[in-house]
Every structure is written in C-alpha cells, then in structure tokens.
Amino acid sequence: MTTSQFSWIFALLFAGASITSCATATDPAGAATFTGTLWIPPAVTGTTFNLALSKATKALRPGALTNTYGFNGSDFWGPTLLVQKGDAVQINVTNNLPEPTTTHWHGLHIPANMDGGPHQIIVPGQTWSPHFQVMNNAGTFWYHPHLHMKTAEQLAYGAGGLIIVQDAEEAALALPRTYGVDDIPLVLTSRRFTADNQFDLTASFGDVVLANGVIDATAALPAQVVRLRILNAETERSYRIGFADGRTFQVIGTDGGLLGAPVPATNVTLSVGERIEVLVDLSKEPVGQILTLQAFNGGQGAAFPGGATETTGEAGSLLNDRTFDLLQVHVVAATAGAVTAVPQVLVPSAHWTTADVTHQRTLTILESGDGMKFTFDGASYAMDVINQTVAQNAIEAWTVQAGPTSGHAFHIHDVQFTIVARSTGTLNSWEAGWKDTVFVPAGESVTFVAQFADFASATDPFMYHCHMTNHEDGGLMGQFLVQPAP
C-alpha cells in the first residue's frame, strides 16, 4: 500500500469523527482535523535526472478524485532533486501533458537558455534536456512551470518540486540533514474545491491548506533539533508561520542559502515563492507531545495577501484574516546521532551594499482601474520585448515600488540579491540572507543589490516578475538581457 492510499483510508476512517471535532466557535474553518500523513517527496540524487510531467488524479476528499498534475508518477508535485554544488547536471524533462509547458529552476544561477522560462517551451511528447553546473550555495530551491499565461494553472494542478543544493560548508556544520527524518520539506499551498471535488482555478486564495499536497497533515518528528525547509507555493497568499504555543525557533536560511548565524523568531512571514529554513528544538519534548504549526494570518489588514475579510469570490477564502493550522507535529523518539543544539555560527558571507552599486534602476508597479491588472511601468509582458538590459558583471540596485492597493512577491531570475532598503526603513530580521524573491507591501518600495555575473547572452533573456502567479500570468512580468562584457 502506498503512503497516499494509507492516508486516504485513514481519512475515510476518521471522516465522521472529524466533522464534529474540527469546528469551534472562534475558528470554524481554520482548525484542521489532522487525519493526513505528511507526504515526503522522494529524493533523487546523482548528476542525471529524469522528470516526466503527467496528468494524474488524487483522492483528496471523499467522493470524486481530483484532477492533478505530478512528476514521475506522483499524484501531486514531484521528487526532490538533491544536487551537489559544483556538479555538472543534466535534467531530462518530458512533457506528457496534452499541452505545452516549461520547467524553470527557481533560484538557480544558470544560463538563460537553460533556465526554463517562458521561452524554453516543451511541446507535448517532447523531452527538453538542459544541463548546467550547480553554482549556488547549499539551500532550498524549486522547479515549476513557467509557460506564459499558464503558470498559475499548471502550478495549481501540482506541477512542481523542490531542489536541495548541498555543499561542503553546509556539510561541515552540525545541522539536521537526514532528508525526511530530521530535515523535512514543507510545501505550503491551498485550494478551493468545486462541488465535484475539482480545484477551483478561479479562486486566488484556497479554502483548504495542502502541506506537501496533503490535507490536514500530521508529521512524526523526532525529539531533537529538526530542520524544516518551507516553501510558499501559493497563488497569492502569504503565511505568517509560527507555532501555536508561541515557541521560538531559529531561522537558518533564506532563498539563496544559509544565514551567517541563526535568527530567533516566533513567526516569520513567507510570501509566494520564498523559502525559509528553520530549526525547531524538540529535544526537550516528551515522546507523544503534539505541536501545531500555524499561519497567524488574522488581523493583518486587507493589503496582506490573505488578509481580506471576504470568504467567497475570487479574492475571498475561508482562510482569510484568521489563524489556521498548517501541520500537526507528533513527537517521536530521537534518532541515533541526533542534533541536540543549534549551531551558533552558520555560513557568513560578504553581502552587497549600496557602496558597491554600479548602476541603479526602478520598477514601478502600476495598477489598472479594476485593481486586478498590474504592469511594470505600464508594459504588460511580451515575449518579444526586452524590458531591461544589464551589463555583464554590473552590480545593480533595483528598487521595486508597489502600487497603493496591492502588495507583490517580486522575483528575479539569474541572481541572488541582498535587500538593502525598505521604504519603511525597517528590514525584517530574517531578510539579511541571500534572496531571489521579496515581498513588496502595497504603497512601499524595496531596494536590493545583485551582481549579474557569469552568464550573458545577446539573445536569451531572464525574467523578473511578481510570483503571485495570477499577477504574473496577467502580465506583471518583464525580461532582461545580460549583455556580454566587451
């Protein structure tokens, strides 16, 4: 029996009981029933990887199966690619869908024609085989479709997967790194279901949380220091992640890898496309203890993605403006060789400052009248238009200014950047590390600095866009060429 069959039977057994136990006066929709088992995507290693994207179905709810997409036979999502910095890898991506797709390696520093953006289209039945050297530091990255105007839909169906980069510096630290045991991938998203159990793709905010594709997920974690690699794979919603008991955890990594030192936090906000690595100390917990990871999304205001009060319609959700459960942790016995202390020092790196900058530019996000259509500086994405040209090796400061009503999750390909300023004057404590995606709240701006080294092309552009996939598909994307140094 597969894990998913097991959790399905489990869900059936407990479906009756959970209807009464989940509802409380204060939180009718947000309290999960915890009848699912967190699925751990299989990890694949080596230097040649094969990925095949196909239609699938998944038993998510009683009744009809839900139509999904999955890689390599998965009924939602795909395997985790575990790669080593320095390795030359090739990934053979076969498109078994009846429509075109692309597969983008989010966060990796690779040539534009290997990047899997909107230009590297894989037609049905075809295999695309990009190859590149892994240059990123150890960290948590991901792959997902990037076909213009189809990204939201294909990702919503479940086409995606994680990429874990490992390197010598990370390996030298006393960190939890046994995948699926004390090093746990956690991909957060949500869906609304139609009456016949299909994903409602008109909803930008789901009503039901999916953790690694599982509803009401529980995870058995050992009584020791445990690492969570969390990805927000939503359409729009941000998550203010913390534990129900308010415990402090340690942020050890951001989009581009490990921080210089752990940053303590009781909650961290993750916008769409961002990743975070945290250490949670379970070493003092008795076996059998239950902890709940939650999203503290209540009271954030309408500009917070998922903070609006409406519960129905395109921007409404049963999870809006409330605290809701993400994962229930059941503490089990510690493993042999358990990590029981959080390292004081991680991987210090020299970050860019404004003093390094050789060129600066500003992108202003414009909102159209109905509040649903966004552009960078009035230009909707066009495949044949180059919006920015960067000189190879330039160290640039980019300022992204959001419009008055909506925040955006700004993402740029090719580089990892350092956030140097927010218009509010305050950077979040966990944002000091390498980033490729940053939330720009409504009415505010963010400035980051990056160097555009190594890869240049007079013809193949990289993308920048809002990672809220409905905004991206709606045209809030641009492309830049890195012009070869003379």
- Could you say whether residue 476 binds ligand C2O (CB under 6 A)? no
Residue number with the smallest Cβ distance to ligand C2O: 106
Total residues contacting ligand C2O by CB under 6 A comes to: 10
Which range touches ligand C2O (CB under 6 A), out of 202-210, 234-242, 249-257, 459-467?
Answer: 459-467
150 binds, among ligand C2O, Cu ion, none (CB under 5 to 8 A by kind): none
413 binds, among Cu ion, ligand C2O, none (CB under 5 to 8 A by kind): ligand C2O
Nearest approach, Cβ of residue 236 and Cu ion (Å)? 8
Q: Name residue 86's amino acid.
A: G
- Could you say whether residue 275 binds ligand C2O (CB under 6 A)? no
Would you say 322 or 465 has its CB closer to ligand C2O? 465
Total residues contacting Cu ion by CB under 5 A comes to: 4
Which range touches ligand C2O (CB under 6 A), out of 184-192, 225-233, 334-342, 461-469?
Answer: 461-469
Per CB under 6 A, the list member of 109, 146, 148, 229 interacting with ligand C2O is 146
Question: What track of x and - describes contact with ligand C2O for positions 80 through 119 (by CB under 6 A)?
Answer: ------------------------x-x-------------
Would you say 30 or 117 has its CB closer to ligand C2O? 117
- Could you say whether residue 408 binds Cu ion (CB under 5 A)? yes
Alpha-carbon span 71 to 48, nearest angstrom: 16
Per CB under 6 A, the list member of 109, 144, 148, 275 interacting with ligand C2O is 144
435 binds, among Cu ion, ligand C2O, none (CB under 5 to 8 A by kind): none
Among positions 358-417, residues that touch ligand C2O (CB under 6 A) are 411, 413
What is the binding site for Cu ion (CB under 5 A)?
408, 466, 468, 471
What is the binding site for ligand C2O (CB under 6 A)?
104, 106, 144, 146, 273, 411, 413, 463, 465, 467
